Structure 1
């Protein structure tokens, strides 16, 4: 198997294990078993559990941040931006919902490559959420602290919706976007 395909296989296995058990609860042995390889091979590719988690978090964050950036820099009207952002997130997470858990895990030890990668990815997505909220005309009269609170509410709501989706994995990204469209329409009206 070519190196890039094997690396993707290992990152997929790591995503599932880290997403289910968190950094603290996951083991390289369990990840290797999920991938059908030896622990030594995982270490050859990533050097350590920390290196593997950092790579997993970076891949997950980049996947979502790139999609979100396309939405928030597009010429969408303010009412379409929230749903388009959710749709981009759902499409990015389809078949890999555990990426969200990886990005929001708080068990990676501070001062490690894993914690640093998480901080970078979370900061990027939080900054995008803040820019998205700030671009909505109806919130332009809010004070900066109010917009910061609204950004936190948005991010918490997205997390709640993704967690619901994880409990209902039979739902597609398109179904989730449609569901959220109905919910957003109800909230805005």
Structure 2
């Protein structure tokens, strides 16, 4: 008699089975949202029993928190890698976005998972999101301090405002990209570089137009 598809983990190492459950659950949560996804849906997609999912993660909330931890850790690790590669200023910002596009190119559901409006606002999942958000914000602050410091700006409120602005820019670019699945990571990286370069060039041009030439300033 052939074994049932959900008969258990026989022959599959626990770590491998856990990763498979997380992969399937992340797709489900990131596609349909936390509220619309049940443990039975995940178990069915993974070809295992609900009892097995519960034995690994304890609850739907525990499974969701584990998915968020994996997604958040993946993004934070990429952002940290760019922070240590020697790039700075605007280049660091563009390289950070490029890294995020690359790591999520074939799994954009992870961004939707992290931004799910139906997720609980407290409990284990919210704690995981808050932890990784703080980690990413600290990296953003590091980059902003470097950028503004080069311009001689040290005011704490300026720094705080710029950190919020940069994080908002990142979220906006990522949301737009996820909503345009025809755009791959390479195309999106080129788009960001093009737009940022255009903004920087416009600022430089306007600044030059307002600055008097030396011969004009002479008495």
Mapping of 1:162-181 within 5 angstroms? 162-181=174-193
Paired position in structure 1 for 2:204: none
| Larger Rg computed on CA atoms | 2
Paired position in structure 2 for 1:81: 92
Counterpart Cα distance in 1 of 2:106 and 2:193? 21
Report the structure, 1 or 2, having the larger helix content: 1
Relative to structure 1, is the Cα distance of residues 3 and 169 closer, same or farther in structure 2, using a 3 angstrom cutoff? farther
* Residue 121 of structure 1 pairs with residue 138 of structure 2: no
- In structure 2, the residue corresponding to 1:53 is in which secondary structure? helix
Relative to structure 1, is the Cα distance of residues 186 and 62 closer, same or farther in structure 2, using a 3 angstrom cutoff? same
Q: Give the TM-score taking structure 1 as reference length.
A: 0.88
Report the Cα offset of residue 110 of structure 1. 4.7
Relative to structure 1, is the Cα distance of residues 77 and 40 closer, same or farther in structure 2, using a 3 angstrom cutoff? same
Match of 2:77 among 59, 66, 70: 66
Paired position in structure 1 for 2:114: 103
How many residue pairs get aligned? The number is 189
Q: Give the TM-score taking structure 2 as reference length.
A: 0.77
* Residue 42 of structure 1 pairs with residue 53 of structure 2: yes
Match of 1:143 among 155, 162, 184: 155
Q: Which runs of 5+ in 2 are unaligned?
A: 1-11, 202-219
Paired position in structure 2 for 1:131: 142
Q: Which runs of 5+ in 1 are unaligned?
A: none
Give the aligned CA root-mean-square deviation in angstroms: 2.0
Report the Cα offset of residue 184 of structure 1. 1.1
Paired position in structure 2 for 1:19: 30
Higher relative contact order (CA 8 A, sep 6+): 1
- In structure 1, the residue corresponding to 2:33 is in which secondary structure? helix
- In structure 2, the residue corresponding to 1:13 is in which secondary structure? helix
